[in-house]
Amino acid sequence: LDVIRGVEPRVADAIGQEVEDQRASLKLIASENYASPAVLLAMGNWFSDKYAEGTIGRRFYAGCRNVDTVESLAAEHAKELFGARHAYVQPHSGIDANLVAFWAVLAARVEAPALQRAGARQVNDLSEKDWAELRRELGNQRMLGMSLDAGGHLTHGFRPNISGKMFDQRSYGTDPATGLLDYDALRATAREFKPLIIVAGYSAYPRLVNFRIMREIADEVGATLMVDMAHFAGLVAGKVLTGDFDPVPHAQIVTTTTHKSLRGPRGGMVLCDDSLVEQVDRGCPMVLGGPLPHVMAAKAVALAEARQPSFQDYAQRIVDNSRALADGLMRRGATLVTGGTDNHLNLIDVATSYGLTGRQAESALLDSGVVTNRNAIPQDPNGAWYTSGIRIGTPALTTRGLGTGEMDEIAALIDRVLTSAEAGTTSKGAPSKAQHVLDEKVADEVSRRAAELLDGFPLYPGIDLS
Ligand code: PLP
């Protein structure tokens, strides 16, 4: 940090403070983790200075042999780890990986037939008339994705994201009575809507998805099945999700982030079967610019870590901890969406359980050293901004070594804060969905206990960033 401090001390201070904050708080954000020092060091180096547009061995820049090495290693580790036919490790983020996947499917299923009809080898060979027709056709495609309030992600065809502007989108959701995915309703919608792509995968669904059934539905209506496993990639890598619950053998294309339960650097990745290799590899220049070789190096290290047997133990402990947290919360009276969990996350219905909005609960917990995020629940009466839910996940605290005993105590701390917190008022005294009131004594007591708990599980021991 001294080198950075010599140039811009405020950045050095912010980095040091960030580590201290992460060390001192109970990090329960389901999409976060702690990457290992090996992953972090692989990311912070001179690869950052290199341009390497193209693919392995076929670059638009000279001097890329070391980039070829790390990109090949990352792709090989990914293929071995997930049993995939092909891996493309250039996407800079989950959104980028999804964009690459959408355009790969569009290229294979809309563009390629149009080129064939016109007798053209590539789009540059099309006449103006054929090109105009292809562009119209590309803009006329349909996607079926999981609804946002059931736990889907914005990139699965929703209007604020480019996917919602590219595709005519329809959603599938969960059964209002059980909160579980309703495959029959999904099948009926797919038959009627006939999408080009069915997207499976989620950001906030606490149960498993049966990808064998999803593929059957996709095949029946002629859709390509794409699975976005960003949230649960670590559970697939760690062989906790196998058979019908492992997306790789079932979907034609699978995308993921590398920084969530997979515990790698911030980034994305695409896996695919033989039918889409050529199109996926055109991610750059289709939607990506130059790859981030330093991040690909870190992906290779993280994927090598995930291939070690200890990662399977880690993945199992994530789920054990998640279940312990669910049991601890429900025993204390909390209502969980779907009544529990089968994966790394839980969704607490804080409106029903504690009379709070998600926003109020999130702030009250933050005051008490517990970092979570608010999340919509199915048919959320408070909408997507204030919400009625709190999403909690266990990948990060499991990395730190906390186990089921600690989870029960964390459930007690969360319950204590949310039972004590009350809805606040605006400055004019009107009821507010944003403000909360929490006795300072409760916040201090919970923060102190959280810090004591974490003291037993040091983060990056021996690394001094003061
Ligand atoms: N897909 C899913 C299911 C996600 O949950 C997220 C992020 O939360 C993304 C994609 C986007 O990832 P990124 O933030 O790396 O673009």
DSSP string across 146-197: E-GGGT--TTTT-TTSHHHHHSEEEEE-B-TTT-SB-HHHHHHHHHHH--SE
> What CA–CA distances, in Å, run from 299 to 80, 295, 448?
14, 6, 36
pLDDT bin (cut points 50, 70, 90) of residue 255 is: very high
Q: Share the mean pLDDT of the chain.
A: 96
CA angle 116/120/124 to nearest 5° reads 130
pLDDT above 80 for 464: no
Alpha helices, DSSP H only, in 222-370?
233-237, 277-280, 283-286, 293-306, 309-331, 350-354, 358-367
The SS3 of residue 155 is: coil
User: Which pair of structure tokens corresponds to residue 427?
Assistant: 């400055």
Across-strand partners of 345?
393
What is the pLDDT at residue 461?
A: 83
User: Which pair of structure tokens corresponds to residue 363?
Assistant: 């702030």
Is the CB of residue 87 less than 8 Å from the CB of residue 233? no
Tell whether pTM > 0.95: yes
Q: Which residue spans within 184-241 are E strands per DSSP?
A: 197-201, 224-228
Find the radius of gyration of the CA atoms of the chain.
23
Ligand 1: list residues with CB < 6 Å: 31, 93-95, 153, 155, 201, 203, 228, 230-231, 257, 268
What is the pLDDT at residue 466?
A: 64
Q: CA 428, 429, 431, 432: dihedral to nearest 10 degrees?
A: 50
What is the best residue among 100, 155, 261, 270 to mutate for testing ligand 1's pocket, by most ligand atoms within 8 Å of CB?
A: 155
409 noted as active-site residue: no
Across-strand partners of 228?
201, 255
**ipTM score for this prediction:** 0.98
DSSP state of 336: B
Closest residue by Cα to atom 9, ligand 1, is 94
Instruction: Kindly name the residue from 207, 215, 260, 391 that is annotated as catalytic.
Output: 260
257 noted as active-site residue: yes
What is the best residue among 158, 161, 203 to mutate for testing ligand 1's pocket, by most ligand atoms within 8 Å of CB?
A: 203
Is the CB of residue 255 less than 8 Å from the CB of residue 98? yes
pLDDT above 70 for 237: yes
Is the CB of residue 295 less than 8 Å from the CB of residue 266? yes
Q: How far apart are CA 403 and CA 320, in angstroms?
A: 8
User: Which pair of structure tokens corresponds to residue 309?
Assistant: 């047997």
- Percent of the chain scoring above 90 in pLDDT: 97
Distance 234 CA to ligand 1 centre (A): 14
Q: pLDDT tens for residues 264-283?
A: 999 999 999 999 999 999 99
Average confidence (pLDDT) over 378-392:
95
Nearest atom within ligand 1 for CA of residue 259: 15
Q: pLDDT tens for residues 319-355?
A: 999 999 999 999 999 999 999 999 999 999 999 999 9
